A and B are shown apart, each in its own frame.
Chain A
Amino acid sequence: MELHSDETLWYFFKKGEHNAFSLLFKKFYPQLHVYGTKISSSPAITEDCLQNFFIQLFEERDKPRNIKNLKAYLFVSFKRRLIKQLQSNQKNVPISEAQLFKTNFNFSAEEISIHQEVQFLCTRTLNSLINQLSPRQKEVIYLKYYSEMNITDIAEVMDMNYQSVLNTLQKAMKKLRVSSENQQIKTILKKN
Chain B
Amino acid sequence: MKNNDLNLSFFLEDASFENWARGLNKNDIEYWNLWIRNNPQHIETVESAKSIILGVSFVQQYPDKIKVDHELAKILPKLAIEEPAVKPKKSLRSSQKIFLLTTAAIFLILLSWNGLSLFNNYNTTTHKTNFGEIIDLKLPDGTSVVLNGNSKISYNKNNPRLITLDGEAYFKVKSIPSTNAKFWVLTEDLKVEVLGTQFHVNTRKKKTNVVLDEGSIHLEFNNGTVTKMIPGELVSFSKESENLIHKKVSVKTPYALWRGGTYAFNEIPLKEVMFNIENTYGIKVLYSNDSLKNIPISGGIPNQNLKICIAAIEKATGTRIIHKNDTLQVTENPINN
Contact = CB atoms under 8 A, between A and B. Distances in A.
Given A5-B260, A51-B74, A14 B98 contact: yes
A118 B71 contact: no
Contacts, number: 137
Contact of A118 (B8, B54, B264, B301): B54
A7 B100 contact: yes
B95 interface: yes
B76 A16 contact: no
Interface stretch (B60-68, B168-176, B182-190, B283-291): B60-68
Contacts of B12: 151, 166
5 contacts: A11-B299, A14-B95, A21-B76, A126-B56, A145-B57
Nearest to B260: A5
B295 to A, nearest CB: 16
A62 interface: yes
A55 B315 CA distance: 24
Interface string A8-42: 10011011111001100110011101100000000
Closest 7 CB pairs of A and B: A7-B300, A30-B62, A113-B57, A117-B54, A145-B55, A11-B299, A118-B54
Contacts of A107: 58
A20 to B, nearest CB: 9
A157 interface: no
A168 to B, nearest CB: 11
B79 interface: yes
Given A12-B315, A14-B95, A118-B55, A146 B60 contact: yes
Interface of A: 3-5, 7-8, 11-12, 14-18, 21-22, 25-26, 29-31, 33-34, 47, 50-51, 54-55, 58-59, 62, 64, 107, 110-113, 115-118, 121, 126, 130, 141, 144-146, 151, 162, 166, 169-170, 173-174, 176-177
A55 B57 contact: no
A170 B98 contact: no
From B9, B54, B100, residue with most partner A Cβ within 10 Å: B54
Given A117-B57, A151-B12, A173-B48, A11 B300 contact: yes
B102 interface: no
Interface stretch (B34-42, B80-88, B131-139, B320-328): B80-88
Interface in B16-58: 22, 48, 51-52, 54-58
A166 B10 CA distance: 12
